[in-house]
Chain A
Amino acid sequence: MSIFFHQYFDLDIIRHNFSFVLEGFGQTLLLSVVSAALAMSWGLVLALMRQSPGRPMLPVRALAISYIDVMRGIPLLLVILLLSGSVPFLDFLPEKLRAPDFFGKPDIFWFGVAAIALTYGAYYAEVYRAGLEGVPYGQTEAARSLGMSHMQAMRHVIVPQAIRRVIPPMLNDFIALMKDTSLVQVIGFVEVVRAGREVQAETFNSSALTLGALMFVIFTVPLARLVDRLIARQQAQTRRAAA
Chain B
Amino acid sequence: MLELEDVHKSFGKLHVLRGIDMSVSRGDVVCVIGPSGAGKSTLLRCINLLEPPERGRIVLEGQEITRARTTELNFVRRRIGMVFQQFNLFPHKTALQNVTIAQRTVLDRPKDEAIAKGKALLERVGLADKMDEYPERLSGGQQQRVAIARALAMDPHVMLFDEVTSALDPELVREVLDAMRELASEGMTMVVVTHEMKFAGEVADRVIFLDEGVVAEEGTPEQIFEEPREQRTRQFLDAVLEH
- When the two chains form the complex, which single residue of A136, A144, A156, A164 contacts B105, counting CB atoms closer than 8 Å? A156
Could you tell me which residues of chain B, from 108 to 163, have a CB within 8 Å of some CB in chain A? Answer: 136, 147, 150-151, 154
The residues of B that contact A241 with a CB separation of less than 8 Å are 91, 136
Given A142-B84, A142-B90, A149–B50 Cβ distance below 8 Å? no
Q: How far is the CA of A28 from the CA of B88 in the complex (A)?
A: 44
Q: How far is the CA of A240 from the CA of B106 in the complex (A)?
A: 32
Q: How far is the CA of A77 from the CA of B80 in the complex (A)?
A: 54
Given A141-B50, A142-B84, A148–B74 Cβ distance below 8 Å? yes
The residues of B that contact A41 with a CB separation of less than 8 Å are none
Q: How far is the CA of A99 from the CA of B95 in the complex (A)?
A: 52
The residues of B that contact A156 with a CB separation of less than 8 Å are 101, 105
Tier of interface size on chain A? 20 to 34
Q: Tell me whether B236 is interfacial, beta carbon within 8 Å.
A: no
B92:A152 contact, CB within 8 angstroms:
no
Chain B residue, CB-CB nearest to A146: B102
Interface centre among B80, B88, B107, B136 (most CB of A within 10 A): B88
Chain B nearest CB from A37 CB (Å) reads 23
B106:A148 contact, CB within 8 angstroms:
yes
Given A156-B101, A240-B136, A147–B77 Cβ distance below 8 Å? yes
A139:B90 contact, CB within 8 angstroms:
yes
The residues of B that contact A145 with a CB separation of less than 8 Å are 48, 50, 77, 80-82, 84, 151
Chain A residue, CB-CB nearest to B80: A145
The residues of B that contact A160 with a CB separation of less than 8 Å are 92
Name the 4 nearest CB pairs between A and B, nearest first. Answer: A142-B88, A146-B102, A147-B78, A138-B88
Query: A-side interface residues toward B, CB under 8 Å?
Result: 136, 138-139, 141-149, 152, 156-157, 160-161, 164, 240-241
User: Told that A136-B88, A141-B50, A241-B136 touch, could you supply 15 new A-B pairs with CB distance under 8 A?
Assistant: A142-B84, A142-B89, A144-B77, A145-B151, A146-B102, A146-B150, A146-B154, A147-B78, A147-B106, A147-B107, A148-B102, A148-B106, A160-B92, A161-B90, A161-B92
